[in-house]
Amino acid sequence: LSDLTRGFVADYRVFRKGEGCEGATINRDLCALSAFFTWLEEERGEHAARPHFRHEEESAGRERWLSADELRGLLEAVPATWRPFFALMVYTGLRLGEVVGKDGSPALRWGDVRLSEGRLTVQGRTRRLKTGSSARDVPIPDQLASLLAAHRIACPGGPADPVFPHPFTYGQAQKVFNRGCEAAELHDVRVHDLRHTFAVHAIQSGLPLPRLQKLLGHSTPAMTMRYARHAPEAYFSEDAARIGASLSGATDREAEAVRRAVVQRANPA
C-alpha cells in the first residue's frame, strides 16, 4: 500500500497512455483503485493514505447504431442458429460478456430467463468490490420471446445451464457477426453497436433516461446521457405541456375530477 502514491498514479497514467488507452479506460482503472481503498476502509477497517485521483478527459465516444432495415438485413445474413443470439443482444441491450460470460460477468443461464413473465435477469459482475447487488431485470419483447422459445427446443437445458453453450463463445460471436455484417453490406459496425442500437431505439420510442440507465446497467446517469440527443423533438412539447399543467394547477384539478368520478361510480345515488 505504501507504493500507491500520487507519483505511482502519475506514472500509471503515462504508462497507459503509452499503450494507446483512451481517457475513459484510464478513468475506469483509477475508479477500480479508488473502490479498493473504499473497500479497505469499510470492510477491513484499514485506513491507508489515498492518493488523489484526477480524471482524464473523455471523448464523446464512438456511436454507431443500426436502423430497423439494417438490423433486419443483419439478422437475415447471420446463420439461423445464431439469430436468437444476436436478437437477444439487440432487443435487450446486453453486453456480449453478459451473454456468454466474460470479465467477471457470469454467462446468461436458463434460470435467468423467464419467458412466461417476459423478462430476464442479468446477474451482477462477480469482480466488483461493492457489496450491493448489481443484478438487473430486462424485459423480453414478443419478437425475441418467440426466438428464444424455439432456441430452447433446439438447445434444451436446466436452470443452471447457459442459454448459449459452446460453440457460442466470445470470439466466435465476433467472427460470425463480422461475416454477417459483410454479407449484409454493413460498414463500420461492431458487436457492441447492438447495445447502442437498443439504447437509441429505446430513447426514440420515448423511454425515460433513468429507466434506460437501469436497463443498460449503467453505474452513473452520465453514461446514459450520451443518448439524450436522440430523443424526438415531439416529446419536448409534450413535456412542456405536462410541466405547464402542473404549475398552473390543471394537473391537480384533473386528478380531483377523476377522484370524484370514481367516488360517484362506487356510490351511485
Per-residue model confidence (pLDDT) at position 141: 94
Residue 225: Cβ within 10 Å count: 13
Rounded Cα distance, 203 and 228, in Å: 7
Tens digits of residue pLDDT in 67-104: 999 999 999 999 999 999 999 999 999 999 999 998 76
Reference 92, options 205, 231, 201, 219; nearest CA is 201
Tens digits of residue pLDDT in 174-213: 999 999 999 999 999 999 999 999 999 999 888 899 999 9
261 contacts: CB under 8 Å, gap ≥ 6 = none
Can you identify the CATH homologous superfamily of domain 68-230?
A: Intergrase catalytic core (1.10.443.10)
Burial 186-216 (b: 16+ CB within 10 A, else e): beebebebbbbbbbbbbbeeeeeeeebbebb
Per-residue model confidence (pLDDT) at position 11: 85
- Flag whether pLDDT at 49 surpasses 80: no
Weakest mean pLDDT among 13-22, 61-70, 208-217: 13-22
3-state secondary structure of 203: helix
Per-residue model confidence (pLDDT) at position 228: 84
Q: Averaged over 57-64, what is the pLDDT?
A: 66
Tens digits of residue pLDDT in 150-185: 999 999 999 999 999 999 999 999 999 999 999 999
Sheet of 113-114: strand order equals 113-114, 119-122, 136-139
More confident residue, 179 or 35: 179
Rounded Cα distance, 84 and 82, in Å: 6
- CB under 8 Å, gap of 24 or more: what pairs does 193-196 form? 193/64, 193/65, 193/66, 194/66, 194/86, 194/89, 194/90, 194/93, 195/89, 195/93, 195/94, 195/95, 196/63, 196/64, 196/65
The burial class, CB within 10 Å (0-12 / 13-18 / 19+), for 50 is middle
Q: Averaged over 17-25, what is the pLDDT?
A: 76
